[in-house]
A and B are shown apart, each in its own frame.
Chain A
Amino acid sequence: DAGVTQSPTHLIKTRGQQVTLRCSPKSGHDTVSWYQQALGQGPQFIFQYYEEEERQRGNFPDRFSGHQFPNYSSELNVNALLLGDSALYLCASSLPTGMGYTFGSGTRLTVV
């Protein structure tokens, strides 16, 4: 049990569509980060949410947006999907200090 729950586990979308991925953090964690892991690469930081605000953002276009709810759960939204958005999307929860992250099993997104 990863402690962090992501849904769905797999998703197939068509180019141009929009997708929403969901994450429930580990109990006691209030900070949620999202990562994109393309095949054969390390996870790339998308953004981090704390207190329902985007606290940090990586080098991703505005098509990638997110939200954090009062219960600390989070959503990642991607608009106008491109083939290159196909990847494993990982959610990680932590405390704001960044001294320990717990990762979910990810959502495998395939864009066709």
Chain B
Amino acid sequence: AQSVSQHNHHVILSEAASLELGCNYSYGGTVNLFWYVQYPGQHLQLLLKYFSGDPLVKGIKGFEAEFIKSKFSFNLRKPSVQWSDTAEYFCAVTWIKAAGNKLTFGGGTRVLVKP
């Protein structure tokens, strides 16, 4: 079965520190890749997505992600975090098939940014 794994369950860092969250997915052909963020008490929001083209994708709120096909990875980065980036982050993948394109999530990484 196809799967998505996120390496870190919890990350604690100080404001202005750099953030990198790892995401790997299992082989299964062509994929669409997503990062979602869930702020406390709020719904899942799309940070960025990759379908094709430039493997370095820029999203909202200063986030970016790099697709490395050979490593089946799609890591999320932010050069300088703010307290407001405290949230849970989910990597998600869709394996493109003839019918049905369900979104498969990783287990999430809970990020706490200390002021």
Show the binding face of A for B, using Cβ within 8 Å.
2, 4, 33, 35, 40-45, 48, 55-56, 58, 90, 92, 94, 96-101, 103-106
Task: Name the contact of A42 in the complex, choosing from B45, B101, B107 (C-beta under 8 A).
Answer: B107
Chain A interface mostly helix, strand, loop or mixed? loop
Would A104 and B43 be within 8 Å (CB), given that A92-B103, A98-B96 are in contact?
A: yes
CA separation between A99 and B34, bound complex, in Å? 10
Report yes or no: A55 in contact with B51, Cβ–Cβ below 8 A. Answer: no
CA separation between A2 and B46, bound complex, in Å? 11
Report yes or no: B49 in contact with A98, Cβ–Cβ below 8 A. Answer: no
CA separation between A42 and B90, bound complex, in Å? 7
* Size range of the chain B interface in the assembly: 20 to 34
Report yes or no: B90 in contact with A48, Cβ–Cβ below 8 A. Answer: no
Report yes or no: B101 in contact with A98, Cβ–Cβ below 8 A. Answer: yes
Report yes or no: B44 in contact with A45, Cβ–Cβ below 8 A. Answer: no
Report yes or no: B49 in contact with A97, Cβ–Cβ below 8 A. Answer: no
Task: Name the contact of A105 in the complex, choosing from B36, B42, B101 (C-beta under 8 A).
Answer: B42
Q: List 16 contacting pairs A-B, 8 Å CB cutoff, sorted by A.
A: A4-B43, A35-B105, A40-B108, A41-B108, A42-B108, A43-B44, A43-B90, A44-B105, A56-B99, A98-B94, A100-B49, A101-B46, A103-B43, A103-B44, A104-B43, A106-B43
How close is A5's CB to chain B, nearest CB, in angstroms? Answer: 11
Q: Which 6 pairs across A and B sit closest by C-beta, in order of nearness?
A: A98-B101, A56-B100, A42-B105, A103-B44, A105-B43, A42-B107
Chain A positions within 8 Å of B105 at CB level: 35, 42-44
